[in-house]
Structure 1
Protein backbone atom coordinates (compact mmCIF):
# COMPACT_ATOMS: atom_id res chain seq x y z
CA UNK A 1 0.00 0.00 0.00
CA UNK A 2 1.47 3.33 -1.09
CA UNK A 3 1.80 6.15 1.46
CA UNK A 4 -1.02 8.15 -0.16
CA UNK A 5 -3.30 5.11 -0.01
CA UNK A 6 -2.34 4.51 3.59
CA UNK A 7 -3.19 8.15 4.37
CA UNK A 8 -6.65 7.70 2.86
CA UNK A 9 -7.10 4.49 4.86
CA UNK A 10 -5.98 6.21 8.03
CA UNK A 11 -8.35 9.10 7.34
CA UNK A 12 -11.28 6.73 6.86
CA UNK A 13 -10.45 4.79 10.03
CA UNK A 14 -9.89 7.89 12.16
CA UNK A 15 -13.10 9.48 10.90
CA UNK A 16 -14.99 6.31 11.76
CA UNK A 17 -13.52 6.20 15.25
CA UNK A 18 -14.07 9.90 15.96
CA UNK A 19 -17.59 9.60 14.54
CA UNK A 20 -18.32 6.64 16.82
CA UNK A 21 -16.99 8.53 19.83
CA UNK A 22 -19.14 11.57 19.07
CA UNK A 23 -22.21 9.44 18.41
CA UNK A 24 -21.76 7.61 21.72
CA UNK A 25 -21.26 10.87 23.62
CA UNK A 26 -24.36 12.30 21.96
CA UNK A 27 -26.36 9.15 22.60
CA UNK A 28 -25.56 9.42 26.29
CA UNK A 29 -27.00 12.96 26.24
CA UNK A 30 -30.01 11.80 24.24
CA UNK A 31 -30.91 9.11 26.72
CA UNK A 32 -32.43 5.70 26.23
CA UNK A 33 -35.00 5.39 23.48
CA UNK A 34 -38.22 3.43 23.97
CA UNK A 35 -41.57 3.17 22.20
CA UNK A 36 -43.03 6.20 23.99
CA UNK A 37 -40.21 8.64 23.22
CA UNK A 38 -38.87 7.32 19.91
CA UNK A 39 -40.20 10.10 17.69
CA UNK A 40 -39.11 12.92 20.00
CA UNK A 41 -35.68 11.34 20.39
CA UNK A 42 -35.21 10.99 16.64
CA UNK A 43 -36.15 14.65 16.20
CA UNK A 44 -33.85 15.66 19.08
CA UNK A 45 -30.83 14.24 17.25
CA UNK A 46 -30.40 17.49 15.32
CA UNK A 47 -30.23 19.48 18.58
CA UNK A 48 -27.31 17.57 20.08
CA UNK A 49 -23.98 18.89 18.74
CA UNK A 50 -22.12 15.61 19.33
CA UNK A 51 -24.62 13.68 17.22
CA UNK A 52 -24.55 16.21 14.39
CA UNK A 53 -20.74 16.30 14.56
CA UNK A 54 -20.56 12.52 14.55
CA UNK A 55 -22.69 12.32 11.43
CA UNK A 56 -20.55 14.96 9.69
CA UNK A 57 -17.33 13.17 10.61
CA UNK A 58 -18.79 9.88 9.34
CA UNK A 59 -19.58 11.62 6.03
CA UNK A 60 -15.98 12.83 5.75
CA UNK A 61 -14.80 9.29 6.49
CA UNK A 62 -17.08 7.94 3.77
CA UNK A 63 -15.56 10.38 1.29
CA UNK A 64 -12.07 9.29 2.30
CA UNK A 65 -13.10 5.64 1.93
CA UNK A 66 -14.56 6.27 -1.53
CA UNK A 67 -11.31 7.92 -2.60
CA UNK A 68 -9.41 4.94 -1.19
CA UNK A 69 -11.58 2.56 -3.21
CA UNK A 70 -10.54 4.33 -6.40
CA UNK A 71 -6.97 3.23 -5.70
CA UNK A 72 -7.10 -0.02 -3.71
CA UNK A 73 -8.94 -3.30 -4.15
CA UNK A 74 -12.04 -3.74 -2.01
CA UNK A 75 -10.54 -7.01 -0.77
CA UNK A 76 -7.80 -4.90 0.87
CA UNK A 77 -9.70 -1.74 1.83
CA UNK A 78 -12.69 -3.47 3.40
CA UNK A 79 -10.80 -5.60 5.89
CA UNK A 80 -8.30 -2.80 6.59
CA UNK A 81 -11.01 -0.45 7.87
CA UNK A 82 -11.75 -3.12 10.49
CA UNK A 83 -9.05 -1.34 12.48
CA UNK A 84 -11.82 1.03 13.52
CA UNK A 85 -13.13 -1.82 15.70
CA UNK A 86 -9.82 -1.94 17.52
CA UNK A 87 -9.83 1.78 18.24
CA UNK A 88 -13.49 1.69 19.25
CA UNK A 89 -12.71 -0.89 21.93
CA UNK A 90 -9.81 1.25 23.17
CA UNK A 91 -12.00 4.37 23.29
CA UNK A 92 -14.76 2.44 25.04
CA UNK A 93 -12.32 1.31 27.69
CA UNK A 94 -10.47 4.56 28.32
CA UNK A 95 -13.13 7.21 27.71
CA UNK A 96 -16.40 5.48 28.56
CA UNK A 97 -14.99 3.15 31.26
CA UNK A 98 -16.42 0.06 29.58
CA UNK A 99 -15.15 -3.31 30.74
CA UNK A 100 -13.32 -5.35 28.14
CA UNK A 101 -13.55 -9.12 28.66
CA UNK A 102 -10.63 -11.34 27.68
CA UNK A 103 -12.54 -12.78 24.72
CA UNK A 104 -12.89 -9.26 23.27
CA UNK A 105 -9.18 -8.59 23.76
CA UNK A 106 -8.38 -11.80 21.89
CA UNK A 107 -10.84 -10.84 19.15
CA UNK A 108 -9.23 -7.44 18.75
CA UNK A 109 -5.82 -9.10 18.53
CA UNK A 110 -7.10 -11.40 15.80
CA UNK A 111 -8.49 -8.40 13.90
CA UNK A 112 -5.09 -6.70 14.02
CA UNK A 113 -3.36 -9.88 12.80
CA UNK A 114 -5.93 -10.27 10.03
CA UNK A 115 -5.51 -6.70 8.83
CA UNK A 116 -1.74 -7.09 8.77
CA UNK A 117 -2.08 -10.23 6.66
CA UNK A 118 -4.52 -8.56 4.27
CA UNK A 119 -2.52 -5.38 3.60
CA UNK A 120 0.95 -6.91 3.78
CA UNK A 121 2.65 -6.91 0.41
CA UNK A 122 5.81 -8.78 -0.39
CA UNK A 123 8.45 -6.36 -1.74
CA UNK A 124 8.82 -6.48 -5.52
CA UNK A 125 12.16 -7.29 -6.99
Structure 2
Protein backbone atom coordinates (compact mmCIF):
# COMPACT_ATOMS: atom_id res chain seq x y z
CA UNK A 1 0.00 0.00 0.00
CA UNK A 2 2.97 2.30 0.53
CA UNK A 3 3.70 2.34 -3.20
CA UNK A 4 0.17 3.53 -3.90
CA UNK A 5 0.86 6.64 -1.82
CA UNK A 6 4.21 7.19 -3.53
CA UNK A 7 2.48 6.99 -6.92
CA UNK A 8 -0.28 9.31 -5.71
CA UNK A 9 2.38 11.78 -4.55
CA UNK A 10 4.01 11.71 -7.97
CA UNK A 11 0.74 12.10 -9.88
CA UNK A 12 -0.47 14.98 -7.71
CA UNK A 13 2.89 16.72 -8.04
CA UNK A 14 2.88 16.37 -11.82
CA UNK A 15 -0.71 17.61 -12.06
CA UNK A 16 0.14 20.67 -9.98
CA UNK A 17 3.17 21.56 -12.09
CA UNK A 18 1.36 21.18 -15.40
CA UNK A 19 -1.79 23.04 -14.43
CA UNK A 20 0.09 25.95 -12.85
CA UNK A 21 2.37 26.32 -15.88
CA UNK A 22 -0.65 26.15 -18.20
CA UNK A 23 -2.46 28.92 -16.35
CA UNK A 24 0.60 31.13 -15.94
CA UNK A 25 1.18 30.96 -19.70
CA UNK A 26 -2.50 31.74 -20.32
CA UNK A 27 -2.25 34.81 -18.07
CA UNK A 28 0.51 36.34 -20.18
CA UNK A 29 3.75 38.10 -19.39
CA UNK A 30 4.55 39.19 -15.85
CA UNK A 31 3.96 42.96 -15.72
CA UNK A 32 6.23 45.52 -14.09
CA UNK A 33 5.66 47.58 -10.97
CA UNK A 34 2.58 47.35 -8.81
CA UNK A 35 0.64 45.67 -11.60
CA UNK A 36 2.74 42.59 -10.84
CA UNK A 37 0.97 42.21 -7.47
CA UNK A 38 -2.46 42.32 -9.12
CA UNK A 39 -1.32 39.81 -11.75
CA UNK A 40 -0.11 37.34 -9.12
CA UNK A 41 -3.21 37.87 -6.94
CA UNK A 42 -5.45 37.05 -9.89
CA UNK A 43 -3.45 33.90 -10.51
CA UNK A 44 -3.82 32.88 -6.87
CA UNK A 45 -7.62 33.03 -7.07
CA UNK A 46 -7.72 31.25 -10.43
CA UNK A 47 -9.50 27.92 -9.76
CA UNK A 48 -7.00 25.97 -11.86
CA UNK A 49 -4.02 27.46 -10.04
CA UNK A 50 -5.77 26.84 -6.71
CA UNK A 51 -6.25 23.20 -7.74
CA UNK A 52 -2.52 23.00 -8.45
CA UNK A 53 -1.70 24.27 -4.97
CA UNK A 54 -4.26 21.90 -3.46
CA UNK A 55 -2.61 19.05 -5.36
CA UNK A 56 0.73 20.03 -3.80
CA UNK A 57 -0.79 19.93 -0.31
CA UNK A 58 -2.42 16.57 -1.00
CA UNK A 59 0.88 15.28 -2.41
CA UNK A 60 2.54 16.24 0.87
CA UNK A 61 -0.10 14.39 2.87
CA UNK A 62 0.19 11.35 0.62
CA UNK A 63 3.98 11.40 1.06
CA UNK A 64 3.60 11.46 4.84
CA UNK A 65 1.41 8.36 4.64
CA UNK A 66 3.92 6.67 2.34
CA UNK A 67 6.66 7.41 4.87
CA UNK A 68 4.78 5.44 7.52
CA UNK A 69 4.96 2.37 5.27
CA UNK A 70 8.29 2.55 3.41
CA UNK A 71 11.89 3.47 4.07
CA UNK A 72 12.77 6.91 2.73
CA UNK A 73 15.87 5.62 0.95
CA UNK A 74 13.71 3.09 -0.88
CA UNK A 75 10.71 5.31 -1.68
CA UNK A 76 12.42 8.56 -2.65
CA UNK A 77 13.95 7.41 -5.95
CA UNK A 78 10.43 6.77 -7.24
CA UNK A 79 9.71 10.48 -6.90
CA UNK A 80 12.09 10.88 -9.87
CA UNK A 81 9.33 9.44 -12.02
CA UNK A 82 7.81 12.92 -11.84
CA UNK A 83 10.62 14.15 -14.14
CA UNK A 84 9.55 11.75 -16.87
CA UNK A 85 5.86 12.49 -16.43
CA UNK A 86 6.38 16.26 -16.39
CA UNK A 87 8.45 15.99 -19.58
CA UNK A 88 5.76 13.90 -21.27
CA UNK A 89 2.82 16.09 -20.20
CA UNK A 90 4.75 19.29 -20.94
CA UNK A 91 5.08 18.02 -24.48
CA UNK A 92 1.50 16.68 -24.72
CA UNK A 93 -0.43 19.46 -22.98
CA UNK A 94 1.81 22.52 -23.14
CA UNK A 95 3.39 21.70 -26.52
CA UNK A 96 6.89 22.18 -25.16
CA UNK A 97 9.70 20.69 -27.26
CA UNK A 98 10.67 17.09 -26.64
CA UNK A 99 14.36 16.91 -27.49
CA UNK A 100 16.75 13.96 -27.61
CA UNK A 101 18.90 15.30 -24.75
CA UNK A 102 15.79 15.51 -22.54
CA UNK A 103 14.69 12.00 -23.50
CA UNK A 104 18.19 10.65 -22.92
CA UNK A 105 18.36 12.36 -19.52
CA UNK A 106 15.02 10.86 -18.52
CA UNK A 107 16.32 7.47 -19.67
CA UNK A 108 19.27 7.82 -17.30
CA UNK A 109 16.92 8.81 -14.47
CA UNK A 110 14.72 5.77 -15.13
CA UNK A 111 17.79 3.51 -15.11
CA UNK A 112 18.70 5.00 -11.74
CA UNK A 113 15.22 4.32 -10.38
CA UNK A 114 15.41 0.71 -11.54
CA UNK A 115 18.87 0.17 -10.04
CA UNK A 116 18.04 1.86 -6.73
CA UNK A 117 14.76 -0.02 -6.36
CA UNK A 118 16.64 -3.33 -6.38
CA UNK A 119 18.18 -2.80 -2.98
Map of 1:24 onto structure 2: 21
Bigger mean CA deviation after superposition, 12-21 or 71-80: 71-80
Number of corresponding residues:
118
- TM-score, L = length of structure 2: 0.89
| Higher mean displacement: 41-50 or 80-89 | 41-50
Task: Classify the secondary structure of the residue corresponding to 2:21.
Answer: helix
Mapping for residues 5-24 of structure 1, pairs under 5 Å: 5-24=2-21
Question: Deviation above 3 Å: which 4+ runs of structure 1?
Answer: none
For 2:64 and 2:99, locate their aligned partners in 1 and report how far apart those are by CA, in whole Å.
Answer: 34
Q: Could you tell me whether the CA contact under 8 Å between 1:12 and 1:65 is conserved in 2?
A: yes
Q: Match for residue 63 of structure 2?
A: 65
Q: Which residue of 1 aligns with 2:104?
A: 106
C-alpha distance in structure 1 between counterparts of 2:83 and 2:3, whole Å: 17
TM-score (norm 1): 0.85
Report SS of the residue matched to 2:32: coil
Which structure's relative contact order is higher, taking Cα pairs within 8 Å and 6+ residues apart? 2
RMSD: 1.4
**Cα displacement (A) at 1:34:** 4.1
1:39 aligns with 2:37: yes
Aligned match of 1:90:
88
Residue aligning to 1:76: 74
5+ residue gaps, structure 2:
none
Shift of residue 71 of structure 1? Answer: 2.0
